[in-house]
């Protein structure tokens, strides 16, 4: 069952949080009793994990497995973008890196198509490199948005 996988991923996130937060602290951050949270996460009779706490669990634990699973179920992917600085050079450097990565990706795809054969390992590499290029482009967009927002704040 699809929703069962989300519950299991949330349970694992709370028990083994990537950021090291204790399960008791997660319950407190969610404004719940520890026993209630654990009952919901283990699907005890009369307890069900509510959709409204999935995002807070991911935020509190630093775990993105549930959102990655949901994105995959919908045929997509979740890519977390790093925080950006307000420095203009970060935008420029990001743009240069994005263009370079996209160029390398395009050359790789062209070479694979030209030889008439795309093996599974090539397809995996193309997919991975394509995701890196998309991530880099999204990072540039985010940096530019943040830079613009901070500049407008300073000018106000």
78-104 tens-digit pLDDT: 767 655 555 556 666 766 676 777 777
Please state, in angstroms and rounded to a whole number, the distance separating the CA atoms of residues 145 and 124.
Answer: 32
Does residue 59 sit in the same domain as residue 94?
Answer: no
75 found inside a domain: no
- pTM of this prediction? 0.58
Residues 57 and 93 placed together within one structural domain of the fold = no
Q: Which domain holds residue 135?
A: 88-155
Confidence of residue 33 (pLDDT cuts 50, 70, 90): very high
The verdict on 145 and 92 lying in the same domain is yes
Same domain for 138 and 99?
yes
**Co-location of 112 and 148 in the same domain:** yes
**Nearest C-alpha neighbor of 1 from the set 48, 37, 36:** 48
Q: Of residues 84 and 121, which shows the higher confidence score?
A: 121
Q: Is residue 50 part of a domain?
A: yes
Q: Does one domain contain both 50 and 104?
A: no
């Amino acid at each position: 069952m699809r929703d069962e996988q989300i519950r299991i991923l949330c349970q694992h996130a709370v028990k083994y949080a990537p950021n090291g937060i204790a399960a008791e602290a997660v319950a407190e951050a969610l404004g719940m009793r520890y026993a209630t949270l654990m009952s919901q996460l283990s699907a005890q009779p009369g307890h069900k994990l509510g959709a409204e706490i999935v995002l807070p669990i991911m935020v509190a634990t630093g775990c993105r497995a549930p959102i990655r699973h949901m994105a995959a179920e919908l045929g997509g992917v979740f890519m977390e973008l790093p925080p950006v600085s307000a420095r203009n050079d970060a935008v420029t450097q990001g743009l240069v890196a994005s263009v370079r990565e996209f160029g390398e990706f395009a050359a790789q795809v062209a070479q694979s198509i030209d030889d008439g054969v795309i093996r599974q390992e090539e397809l995996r590499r193309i997919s991975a490199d394509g995701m890196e290029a998309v991530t880099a482009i999204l990072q540039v967009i985010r940096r530019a948005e943040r830079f613009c927002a901070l500049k407008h704040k300073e000018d106000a």
